[in-house]
Every structure is written in C-alpha cells, then in structure tokens.
C-alpha cells in the first residue's frame, strides 16, 4: 500500500515540469512568423501553427508527458516519456514552418518561439533528472550521446527543418559555415594540443622542482585572470610588430589581427589547467606509496615512470576536459579580432539583430562543448576504473 502510494505521489520537480509544459502549451506562442528575416514577428499558438490533427496530437502527447512527470517516479519511464516528447516537438516545429509559410514566399521566416523552447526545456529537464538518477555507466552515457547526435543528424538530413529560419540562414552560407567550423575546431583543438605538448613536461618539471612550480602556477594564474578579449588586444601589438619587422613571421601567416593572437591566447589559457592538474595528479600519490617505492630502492626517475605517472591520468584528463570546454567557448570571441570560427555568425547576427544567425553560431558551439564534456567525463571515469 505504502509503496504504491510513494510511486504515484505528486513529485515536486515533476510538478514544476508539468507547470512548465502547461505554460508552454496554453500561454506561449509555439512559433514566430516574420514577413522577412529582420522585421518584428508575430507569435502563433500551437493550435494555429499546425494542421488540427498535428496540434491536437502534440498537445495530447505533451500533456501525457506532463502527467507522467508529475505522477511517475521511475527514472526509466520518465526518460522514455521525455525522449518521446522531444522526438515529437522537434519535427513538429519544422512541419509547422512548412505549414505556415505561404507557398512560394521565399522572404517569410518561421522560427521556434517561447512555447517550443519551454517544451524543449521541460522535456530536457525531465530527461536530465532521469539520467542523473539512473547513474549510467560511461559506455551507456556515450551511447546515449551517440543516439542523440544521430537523431539530430537525421532531423537535419531528412529536410524536416528546411523551412525553418535557422536552416535558411545556413542554406545561404553553407560554404562559410563549414569553413568557420573547421577554423573553430582548429583553434580549440590545436591550441589544446599545443598546451598539452608544453604543459605536460612543464607540469612534470614543476612536480620535481617545487620552487619552479609555484612560480609557473602564479604566472599562469595571472594569465587565466585576464579576460579573453583583453589578452587578444595585448597580443595584437607585439604580433603586429613581429609581422612588420620579421619577414619569416609574416610568411608564416602571423599577423597582428586574425587567428594568430587568438590561437596564442587560447594556448596560454590552456596552460594553467594542464600544468596545475599534471602537478596535482603527480602529487596525489599517497605518501605511504612513495615511501614504499623509495624503500624498495626506486630512483626518482623510476618513481615518476612506474608509480606517479600511471596514477595521474584521471586528474590530467580532468584538466584537459576543462581546457577543451573552455576553448570551444572562448574560440567564439576570436571572431572579434578576425580569427574566424562560429563567433563570426554570432557577432554578425548581433550586428544585424538576426537571432537565427546568432543561433547558427551559438548552437553548434554549445553542442560541441556539451558533447566534449560528456565524452571526456566518460573517458575520465573509464581511466579511473582502470586504475587500482
């Protein structure tokens, strides 16, 4: 009796989510219709955004998910409900765009509106809570990410979203989009790789020479404090000077403005997490273990290779996770100094008050950081499990 009651009682978080869903369905427009890409738009409620069968279908489904969120506590059921909800509203918003846009009108724009975003948020919250409670294994988390990525790819490739303003922005700049994507990844991953190449040896050195460690960490701490655009600005002057006075530098493509200062700044930001976590990773080995190793006659070098380094990877990888997520985000700022990347669309979009152009830059950035965080967290868990 009591177990039945506890599995069906009103869940507080679920109730909040149900209220969100209610507000999304009955008090917020599902999509925004605009006559062209920059004029103010008008909202369309769900009932007017889809053919009757569609809007009733979405509404019934969303209410079912709301009921499930409020009354059912089993995480697996909640996850399934949230996934079904997401799988319904994403194609629905694309369908709505095709339904609303007058035939033959190429200027009209349809974008998701508050109602859609609230529904997506509510379902995502439900899914996130369920996933948190399920405590999935690293492999299961990677599989979940792959499924989600596959679903998004399917959505985009199938053309279901082609009538949405976001994809119209993309269609107009498909070439630039992929060029900036490559540039963004190059900035983020390239500077991370460079930071690992320099930072790992620096961390090992810092571990063995304590006085050096404090000096290095102090300097890197100061660098980390400097805001990104300020650091870009500070680097522009010397790089410009270098380009003007050293022919080789200019030949290598180093200029005051552009990717070079952005790359160097990202590299400098990346050093602190890499070095600090390498040092921490090496130092976390219990004193008793080090003592035993010394007692068995292992030299400092042997201790490093046989005891300290094998135990350090999880902590070093945590540093690399910080770097990667940070770099993928900071690379957007590079566009301000002509460094390219997804920030190009963000700042162009701000300039034109075109929210869909902003989203064209922002969504891939967020998706990349998000995926990078999940993948690295899984890898960290796997290395942790592997080490004794």
Partner 1 sequence: MSAPSLLWRGAALVLLLLFITAPQLFAFAFEPLTVNGAPAIYNQGSLLSLTLSHLRIVFLATLASTILALGLGIFVTRPSGREFLPLSRSLVNIGQTFPPVAVLAIAVPLVGFGEKPTFIALFLYGLLPIFENTLTGLMEVSPQTLDAAKGMGMNPRQRLFQVELPLALPVILAGIRLSVIISLGTATIGSTVAAKGLGEVIIAGLQSNNVAFVLQGGLVVALLAVLIHDGLGMAERRVSAKLGRAADEVS
Smaller CB separation from partner 1, 73 or 179: 73
Min dist CB 326 to partner 1, Å, is 9
Cβ of residue 241: shortest distance to partner 1, in angstroms? 8
The DSSP call for residue 188 is I
Nearest approach, Cβ of 351 to partner 1 (angstroms)?
Answer: 8
Nearer to partner 1, 304 or 374 (CB): 374
CA nearest to 228, candidates 302, 332, 151, 148: 332
Closest CB 11 distance from partner 1, rounded Å: 7
Distance CA 162, CA 149 (A): 18
Output 16 or 304, the one with its CB closest to partner 1.
Answer: 16
In 3-state terms, the chain is what percent helix, strand and coil (to 5)?
80, 5, 20
- Return d(Cα 334, Cα 262) in angstroms, integer: 6
Phi, psi of 255 (to 5 degrees): -135, 165
Q: Smallest distance from the beta carbon of 250 to partner 1, in angstroms?
A: 16
Cβ distance to partner 1 smaller for residue 171 or 222: 222
Q: For partner 1, give the closer residue by CB, 61 or 125.
A: 125
Q: 12 or 211, CB closer to partner 1?
A: 12
Q: Which residue bears the tokens 């009108």?
A: 105
Measured in whole angstroms, the distance separating CA 198 from the mean position of its chain's CA atoms is 25
- Contact set with partner 1 (CB under 8 A): 11-13, 125, 128-129, 131-133, 222, 225-234, 236-237, 240, 256-257, 325, 328-330, 332-333, 336-337, 343, 346-347, 349-350, 353-355, 358-359, 361-362, 365-366, 369-370, 372-373
Residue 387: CB atoms within 10 A of its CB come to 10
- CB 314, CB 324: distance < 8 Å: no
**H or E element, residue 73:** none
What is the nearest approach in angstroms of partner 1 to the Cβ of residue 51?
Answer: 29
Distance of alpha carbon 78 from alpha carbon 70, whole angstroms: 10
């Amino acid at each position: 009796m009591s177990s039945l009651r506890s599995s069906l009682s009103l869940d507080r978080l679920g109730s909040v989510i149900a209220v969100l869903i209610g507000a999304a369905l009955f008090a917020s427009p599902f999509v925004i219709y605009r006559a062209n890409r920059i004029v103010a738009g008008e909202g369309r409620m769900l009932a007017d955004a889809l053919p009757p069968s569609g809007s009733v279908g979405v509404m019934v489904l969303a209410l079912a998910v709301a009921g499930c969120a409020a009354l059912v506590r089993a995480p697996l059921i909640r996850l399934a409900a949230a996934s079904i909800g997401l799988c319904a509203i994403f194609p629905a918003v694309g369908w709505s765009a095709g339904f609303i846009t007058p035939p033959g009108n190429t200027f009209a724009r349809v974008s998701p509106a508050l109602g859609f975003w609230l529904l997506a948020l509510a379902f995502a919250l439900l899914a996130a809570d369920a996933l948190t409670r399920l405590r999935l294994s690293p492999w299961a988390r990677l599989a979940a990410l792959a499924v989600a990525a596959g679903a998004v790819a399917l959505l985009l490739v199938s053309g279901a979203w082609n009538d949405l303003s976001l994809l119209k922005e993309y269609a107009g700049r498909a070439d630039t989009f992929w060029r900036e994507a490559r540039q963004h990844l190059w900035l983020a991953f390239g500077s991370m790789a460079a930071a690992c190449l320099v930072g790992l040896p620096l961390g090992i050195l810092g571990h063995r020479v304590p006085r050096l460690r404090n000096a290095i960490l102090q300097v890197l701490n100061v660098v980390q404090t400097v805001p990104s655009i300020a650091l870009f600005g500070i680097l522009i002057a010397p790089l410009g000077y270098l380009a003007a006075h050293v022919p080789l530098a200019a030949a290598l493509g180093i200029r005051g403005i552009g990717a070079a200062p952005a790359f160097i700044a990202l590299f400098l930001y990346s050093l602190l997490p890499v070095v600090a976590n390498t040092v921490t990773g090496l130092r976390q080995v219990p004193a008793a273990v080090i003592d035993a190793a010394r007692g068995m006659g292992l030299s400092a070098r042997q201790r490093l290779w046989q005891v300290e380094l094998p135990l350090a990877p999880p902590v070093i990888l945590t540093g690399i996770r910080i770097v990667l997520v940070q770099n993928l985000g900071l690379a957007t700022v590079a566009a301000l100094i002509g460094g390219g990347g997804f920030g190009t669309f963000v700042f162009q979009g701000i300039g034109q008050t075109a929210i869909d152009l902003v989203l064209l830059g922002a969504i891939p950035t967020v998706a990349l950081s998000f995926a990078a965080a999940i993948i690295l967290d899984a890898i960290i868990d796997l290395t942790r499990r592997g080490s004794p």
